[in-house]
Amino acid sequence: MLAIAALSVAVTSAATAIAAILAIPAALWIVHGRSTARAALLALFTAGLGLPPVAVGLAVAFAFWRSGPFGAFDLLYTPGAMMLAQVIVVLPLIGTLAVVSLRGGDPTLAQQLAGLGVPRRARLALLAREVAPGLVAAILAGFGRGIAEVGAAQMTGGNIEGQTRVLTTATMLAVGKGEFGEAFGYVAVLLGIMIVVAGVALTLQRRWA
């Protein structure tokens, strides 16, 4: 049980971190950049909100099939493949929510701070503080979607005991075997993880409030 929960947290944490590292700069570019391609990327993010994890999982599994285009990497049915699929599932959500939170502030704030003689570095720090709670919420939502999804984890991981079994796929299997007590146990741990993560996020947001 502990190993299963740990793998869930590890895969989703890594996927969320990678997605955030890609999505937040992309969101900054969408909000503050000049290129016309910004609208296309935002459309891609928005459309990606509805991506079924099982479809992403199927696509990633197909790509890593032994005879597939990336078969040489030998990643299928490994935590690496699960993580990659979750990055794709989570990235549009973090990106879209980050854009919303970056657009929320007063667009002239940076200019007004500059007009008061606040140096560039201090300005960036102040602006980062302004948007931090929104970005924390975006990352939290991404983590929640990642750890709760079952389709991509099943497709790319294969639910191999001791290797790629995570809380959601373990729950499905337990239900299939009629082991309802075990299934409820997994779900309880899943909820516990989300409560802890939400608590950490709230604490961070309060510190910046």
Partner 1 sequence: MNGVAADALDVRRGAFRLRVDGFGADARGTAVLGPNGAGKTTLLLALQGLIPSHGAIRRPARCAAAFARPAVLRASALANVAVVVRAARGATAAAAEERARSALAEVGLAAFAGADARTLSTGQRQRLALARALAVEPDALFLDEPFANVDADARPALRALIGAYVRRSGCALVVATSFLADAVALCERCVVLHDGAVAARCDVAALASCDDRYVAALLEEARFPA
Q: How far apart are CA 87 and CA 15, in angstroms?
A: 5
For the CB of residue 207, give the shortest distance to partner 1 in the complex, in Å: 12
Helices and strands of the chain, counted as H and E runs = 9, 0
Kindly give, in sequence order, each residue whose CB lies less than 8 Å from that of residue 161, ignoring residues fewer than 6 positions away. Answer: none
Instruction: Answer yes or no: are the C-beta atoms of 168 and 8 closer than 8 Å.
Output: yes
Using rule CB under 8 A, residue 115 touches partner 1? yes
Task: Classify burial at 140, counting beta carbons within 10 Å of its beta carbon; exposed 0-12, middle 13-18, buried 19 or more.
Answer: buried
**Residue nearer to partner 1 on the CB measure, 11 or 137:** 137
Name which of residues 25 to 84 contact partner 1 (CB under 8 A).
none
The two tokens of residue 172 are 């499905």
**Residue nearer to partner 1 on the CB measure, 138 or 189:** 138
Name which of residues 120 to 159 contact partner 1 (CB under 8 A).
122-123, 126, 129-130
**Residue nearer to partner 1 on the CB measure, 48 or 105:** 105
Q: How far apart are CA 175 and CA 180, in angstroms?
A: 6
Using rule CB under 8 A, residue 194 touches partner 1? no
For the CB of residue 142, give the shortest distance to partner 1 in the complex, in Å: 23
Helix (H, G, I), strand (E, B) or coil at 177: coil
Instruction: Answer yes or no: are the C-beta atoms of 91 and 24 closer than 8 Å.
Output: no
Which of 66, 72, 106, 206 is in the footprint of partner 1 by CB under 8 A?
106
For the CB of residue 201, give the shortest distance to partner 1 in the complex, in Å: 17
Query: Where does this chain bind partner 1 (CB under 8 A)?
Result: 105-106, 108-109, 111-119, 122-123, 126, 129-130, 209
